[in-house]
Amino acid sequence: MVPSASGNETNIKLPFSFIFVSMIALMASQILLLFQGDFLIVGQFRVPGIWSAAHLFILGWALMIAMGAMYQLVPVAFLTPIWNEKFGFIQFGVTAIGTFAFAHFLFHDPQNALIPGIITLIGILMFLFQMFMTLRKQAKPNILTLYVGTALVCLLLTIGLGITMLYSMKSGAAADQYFAIFKSHLLLGTAGWFTMLIFGFSYKMVPMFSLSHGYSMKPSKFVYPFYAGGLLVAIISFFIDSNIALTVGLLLQLIGFSIFIYHISIILKKRVKKKLDRSFTFALIAILSGGLIHLAAFITAVFGVFHKAVGPLLMMYLFFWIAFSIIGYLYKIVPFLWWTAKYSKEIGKKDVPALKDMVNDRASTPVFACLVIGIIGVALSLFIGSEALFISGQLIFTIACFLLCIAIAKVVTK
Amino acid sequence: MSSALKEKIIEELELVIDPELGIDVVNLGLIYEVNINEENDVHIVMTMTSMGCPMAGQIVGGVKSAIVDNITEISKVDVDIVWSPPWTKDRMSRYAQLALGIHR
C-alpha cells in the first residue's frame, strides 16, 4: 500500500505561466513570419525578421511549453516533487524576459542581442539545473528517466554548441569545424532534446489517455540504444565528413523510431478506451509522421541527396512531429491544469465537469487541418517561389495558431 | 447499521469522478474495500486506472470529502491506494463499460 495522496503536485501557476507565455510567443512568431515571405521564397533565411521569428518559435513556444509541461509531468511521472518551486518561478521570469528581449534585439538590433541571449541562456541553464536536481531525488529511476535525462543532456549540449558557434564566429576559433558544430546543434536540439523528451513522456501519456493495461515495456529498451546510437554516429559523421557514417546514423535513428512506433501500437492494442480523443489521435498521427520523416531522411542519404533535402525535412520534422505532438498533448494538459486549479477542491462535494468538458475536442479537427494545409502551402511556396502562395499558407497557419490559442484560453473560462 | 452505512458511503462515492474518464470511482471499479470500525472511522482501499495517475491526489481528496462532508456519522476517513490486484476493465460496471465503448 502507498500513502493516500502523492503530494508531488506542482503549484499549478508555474506550468500555466509557461504555457500562456508560450502561446503569445507562438502568435508573435507566426505574425512576424507572415511579413518575411519575400526573403523566404528567395532562400534568404539569415535575416533579422526570420532569426527573430525562428527563436520565438523554438525558444519562446516549443521550449517554453516543454518546460511548462515538464514542471507538471515530471512530478507525476517520476513520483518526485519539483526540487524548488520558487526557483522555478524565478527561472520562468528569467527565461521569458530573456527570450522576448532576445527576439526583440534579433529583429531591431542584432549586434546587441548578446546580453538578452545570455539572459535566455541563464534561464535555460536554471531549468536544466532544476530538472537534474529533481530527477536526482527520484527513488527508483526507470526507463523513462533515461529518456528524459538524455533529452536534458541533449538540451545542454545544444546550448553548449550554440555558444561555441557564437564564440567561433567572433574569434574565428574552430572555423573549419563551424558547420559540423552547426549541424550537431540542430540535430541535438530537434532529434536529441525534443524527440527523446516526447518518447519518454509518450510512454506515460499514451497508456494514460488510452487506458491501456498489461502491455510489455521491453521494446523501449531497444528504442533507446538504436536512437541514441544513431544520434552519436550522425554527430561523428558531421565531424569526419563521412556520408557513409551519416547514412548509418540515420538508419539507426530510423530503426529506433520504428521500434518506438511498433511499441506504441502494442500499447494501443491493449487499450480499454476504444474511442480515442481527436486531439490525442493527432498526437499519435504525429508519431507516424516522425517515422516517415526519418524514413525519408535515410532514403535521401542513401541516394546522396540528404544535404539538399535536409531543409524541408527539418521543417517537416519541426511541424509534423514536434509541434503536432506538443499541440496534441496540450489539449489534454491544459484542461488538466485548469481542472486541478478550479475543481480539485470541489470533487466529492458536488458535481464537477470531466476533462473532456473543459475543452472542445471536436474543434481540434479544423485547427489541425488548417495547420497541415498551412504548412503544405508554405512548403510548396518555398519550392516554387510563389510569394502569394506563401502569404496564403502562412495566413492559414497563423489563423490555425490563433484558433489553438483561443481553444486553450477558453479552458480557463470553464 | 454498518451495512446501511456502507451503502451510504458507496452512494456518496458515486459523486467522485475520475476526471479523465468522466465516470465515478464506484462504477469504474476502483473501490476495493470499505471498512468501518466501531468508532465509525472509515478505511477505504482503492486503486487507480493507471500507476502514477496525475489525478490520484485529487481523486483521493474527493473520496475523503464525499464521505466526511456528506455523512454526519463519519468524521475520519483513511484511504490507501493499492496496485495489487491490478485494475482491469472487468472491474467496471456495465454502465462504465458502455460509456467507454466496451461491449461485453
- Cβ-based contacts under 8 A for chains A and B: 110
Residue segments in chain B with a per-residue pLDDT below the cut of 50 = none
**Predicted local distance difference test score (pLDDT) of residue B1:** 52
**Predicted local distance difference test score (pLDDT) of residue A62:** 93
**Predicted local distance difference test score (pLDDT) of residue A201:** 92
**Predicted local distance difference test score (pLDDT) of residue A5:** 43
Please state whether the peptide bond connecting residue A15 to the residue before it is cis, i.e. omega within 30 degrees of 0.
no
Give residue-wise pLDDT tens across range A91-121. Answer: 999 999 999 999 999 999 888 888 898 999 9
Burial group, residue B36, by CB count within 10 angstroms (0-12, 13-18, 19+): middle
Give residue-wise pLDDT tens across range A224-240. Answer: 999 999 999 999 999 99
Containing A197, the helix (H) or strand (E) segment is helix A195-210
Residue B80 to residue A349, Cβ atoms within 8 A: no
**Predicted local distance difference test score (pLDDT) of residue B103:** 63
pLDDT tier for residue A4 given thresholds of 50, 70 and 90 = very low
Residue A1 has pLDDT above 60, yes or no: no
- Mutation target among A1, A2, A4 for the B interface, most CBs of B within 10 A: A4
pLDDT tier for residue A41 given thresholds of 50, 70 and 90 = confident
**Predicted local distance difference test score (pLDDT) of residue A79:** 80
**Predicted local distance difference test score (pLDDT) of residue A132:** 94
Contacts of A275 in chain B (CB under 8 A): 100-101
- Domains of chain B, each with CATH number or no CATH: 2-99 (3.30.300.130)
- Mutation target among B10, B12, B17 for the A interface, most CBs of A within 10 A: B17
CA angle A374, A337, B31 (to 5 degrees): 125
In B, residues 25-44, which contact A (CB 8 Å cutoff)? none
Mean of the pLDDT values across residues A379-402? 92
In A, residues 158-197, which contact B (CB 8 Å cutoff)? none
CA angle A22, B52, A355 (to 5 degrees): 55
